[in-house]
Structure 1
Amino acid sequence: MIVKKLQDIIGTDDDVDTEGWNSRRLLLKDAGMGYSVHDTVIKEGAELHMHYKNHLEAVYLIEGKGEIETVEDGKVYDLEAFTIYALDQHDKHILRANKGSHMRMVCVFNPPVSGREVHGEDGAYPADLD
């Protein structure tokens, strides 16, 4: 059994903090579960261009407000607490946290990430770092 507390991850190597987001990686590839789970904060006013071409991602928003735009068709979806979205088509997207609000979300990646990934210039995590 694996049991972890967020407070034990904050400030460690599994706490990846960038200008636009902070991802606390709760379960990673080395857990052997076949997916990874992250507690992620999108910082207030951030606009992130992402494209998980090597991963599928499901996101459950638990705090804050923002929006997600699918680049291919320009559709914009409002996001608020207790909303889930799934990037089931490796969707190229833009994620925006509203001014005056961060967004806190639980993110699940398949295949799992190893923990060191950050977005490349194309908005994607690499296929595998291990």
Structure 2
Amino acid sequence: MIVRTMDQAQADGRKIVSPDGNWDSTRLLLKDDNMGFSFHITTIYTGADFQMHYQNHLESVYCISGEGEVETMADGKKYPIQPGTIYILDKHDKHILRAFKEMKMACVFNPPLNGKEVHNAEGAYELDAEAIS
């Protein structure tokens, strides 16, 4: 059994802050935990407005708090995000995430992240990123 707190995960170097200042992510469960997925609590900062395209991962995102929207690039549809909303990027959807009020999100990635990933120029995470040691 794995038991881990947010404080412990952050003290262990599992909190990653995006270089662009849009988000931070505490990676509670990673590839080396051998569960087949990773689980993160991510904060999207107020005013963040950025494009992502997870070409190598599928992601499910559940909003715990805050307010924003996700826009699909293929058709320009905008979906409001508020507590209790989940969005699922089941087709490697290219999208824009906007935070009107700081959002806390619970995120699941498949395949699991190694730990130190940040978005590349395309808004994706690399498959061979460095692991947290």
TM-score by length of 1: 0.95
| Residue 47 (structure 2) aligns with | 45
Q: CA deviation at 1:11?
A: 4.6
Q: CA deviation at 1:104?
A: 0.3
1:75 aligns with 2:72: no
Q: Secondary structure at the match of 2:8?
A: helix
Structure 1 residue runs of 4 or more that deviate by more than 3 Å after TM superposition: none
| Residue 125 (structure 1) aligns with | 125
Asked whether the 8 Å contact 1:113–1:128 carries over to 2, the reply is no
* Per-residue Cα deviation, 1:101-129 (whole angstroms, up to 9, x for no partner): 10100000000000011000000000232
Asked whether the 8 Å contact 1:26–1:37 carries over to 2, the reply is yes
Map 1:1-130 to 2 at 5 A: 1-18=1-18, 19-98=21-100, 101-129=101-129
TM-score by length of 2: 0.93
Q: CA deviation at 1:17?
A: 1.0
Q: CA deviation at 1:7?
A: 1.3
- In structure 1, runs of 5+ residues without a counterpart are none
- In structure 2, runs of 5+ residues without a counterpart are none
Instruction: Give percent identity, aligned residues only.
Output: 52
